[in-house]
Structure 1
């Protein structure tokens, strides 16, 4: 899927699998398309479907920024934490009602501010706090209990039903994610088809499809909220100019939604390397015409430089040649 060079040698290779799918099925695949994976945060838009379909989002007055945060793995920057805090306050809730756990922010300014203040990070800084705020909103709407993170809670039952509906198959099980939620497993090809279902949502008029189209529109309208400055999701969506919604997940997972082409993409890097997932998904999106290889943010991931301690470029992270054909 990707290789690391220390010119002129290929020093490392990242193996994995990738699928490009349309609503009718697989269009192109590399590796094992039937591999069962934990998609991690790459399917947050699926987990957000019940929030919108149930009417909870509209009842709470949520707008596109809230929906983007519900799909986000954010940096914990002030623009993220402030919005999540305000969202919770509007519900009459607080950071203490979250169940995601605290996390040091990846945003340098936010992290440095905490260090200077000798303060600890809160759950608002957790990269999944927007998703959890969405689940609290749904739990309130359903009149369910506060432990929304438990697998048998109505919120998680609704998330599993949504996942199985859009992937078209029962999930074989789940693992507990880093933010304490169940993460439902599925085949890579079916996850790619689910992304294609999102990509074609605007062509249908059922409640689920209207919800999917709203989530995709929120992600592409607010890429800075889905991830943050310098992150692949944000940079690639900006480079795509609204033509593609992308979402990373831990352990080398990436998904992409291409509404104009009606296509979905899902990939998994076997060793979990983010550097390989960023590179491979960029190559696939250039291949599909959703991104231009000339865009600086795209080029930076298509041929990501490896530098030594002096700052000299001594190699690159490059996609496998088959991905670029």
Structure 2
């Protein structure tokens, strides 16, 4: 068909039951080296898609640039999709106070904490969640501080035309090596702009985290160090980013809604790499299986502790084995 993009074989995660495929999740992967060149892919590396919260390291860059002395834990929470534990909330509150802001200034909305224990504790105390419990509250607190430090108004900081969001869109284009008109804008679940760009562009952004260069290098390095030094703050108990990063030397990883994932890898046989993948149907249960398969394909040793994050067998509530998981990641090297 005229105009149709040529793509390689897509990856798949196949959940089986009784020896038969029950669910199949299609996956697209892009891998970029430290020099910004795409070195491998699987499926459609040109797929234009929303990284959602995988964009948070980019969204935190204006803060990192404006506040070079900011403590690492506060920069980490600005990159986080946190679980709403007391530890998370304490860091968000500290970051929020730096701009003279309060919880009432957060425009992220409200949902119960992702962490079941934190959510249950609110119920026991007969307290309703506040915007502080929203998984994006750290990002919003960081955005408010970035506005104050740059002399931008705090009012309307979530709007597409606000100087902060204009700059964040420009950073996606600059770091992803795409033109600005190839960065498409939508609205995220927390009300800030969500930017979509080709998958290889997001892989390039994570490659820049793995191998910072140019004028943004100090800020990129600070974001990388904050994420890797504070994996608990990036997500929370039992969540993939928090559990995977300490198990892989030199890895900064960030999940996004609808089964997007970005990884900045500093230690591979191929040198520093940036990886971005999208499970096309948004099936988030496929994400850890693809993450481990990609790491293994890139020569990163996968330990038994890592494999426990993506079990190959399925069990029912009675503990009986009822199925399995098959993973296919046919990376095509450039």
TM-score (norm 2): 0.89
Deviations along 1:269-288, one digit per CA (max 9) or x if unpaired, are: 11101111221012111222
Q: Is the 8 A contact 1:276 1:317 kept in 2?
A: no
Superposition pairs for residues 63-212 of structure 1, below 5 Å?
63-146=71-154, 147-169=156-178, 170=180, 171-201=182-212, 204=213, 206-212=214-220
Q: Is the 8 A contact 2:92 2:138 kept in 1?
A: yes
Shift of 1:197: 1.8
Candidates 283, 293, 299, aligned match of 2:302: 293
Q: Is 1:270 aligned to residue 270 of structure 2?
A: no
Candidates 261, 267, 271, aligned match of 1:254: 261
| Deviating more after overlay: 9-18 vs 123-132 | 9-18
Candidates 25, 35, 55, aligned match of 1:14: 25
Which runs of structure 1 show a deviation greater than 6 angstroms over 4 or more consecutive aligned residues? none
- Taking structure 1 as reference, are residues 115 and 324 closer, same or farther at Cα in structure 2, changes over 3 Å only? farther
- Unaligned ranges ≥5, structure 1: none
Residue 26 of structure 1 aligns with which residue?
Answer: 38
- Taking structure 1 as reference, are residues 200 and 13 closer, same or farther at Cα in structure 2, changes over 3 Å only? same
Candidates 312, 317, 320, aligned match of 1:309: 317
- Taking structure 1 as reference, are residues 141 and 24 closer, same or farther at Cα in structure 2, changes over 3 Å only? closer
Tell me how far apart the structure 2 counterparts of residues 321 and 188 of structure 1 sit (CA, whole Å): 16
Q: Is the 8 A contact 1:293 1:302 kept in 2?
A: no
For this pair of structures, how many residues does the alignment match? 315
RMSD: 1.8
Deviations along 1:247-279, one digit per CA (max 9) or x if unpaired, are: 100011000001232110000111101111221
Tell me how far apart the structure 1 counterparts of residues 164 and 120 of structure 2 sit (CA, whole Å): 35
Tell me how far apart the structure 2 counterparts of residues 83 and 9 of structure 1 sit (CA, whole Å): 47
TM-score (norm 1): 0.92
Tell me how far apart the structure 2 counterparts of residues 67 and 305 of structure 1 sit (CA, whole Å): 38
Tell me how far apart the structure 2 counterparts of residues 265 and 184 of structure 1 sit (CA, whole Å): 18
Tell me how far apart the structure 1 counterparts of residues 215 and 87 of structure 2 sit (CA, whole Å): 31
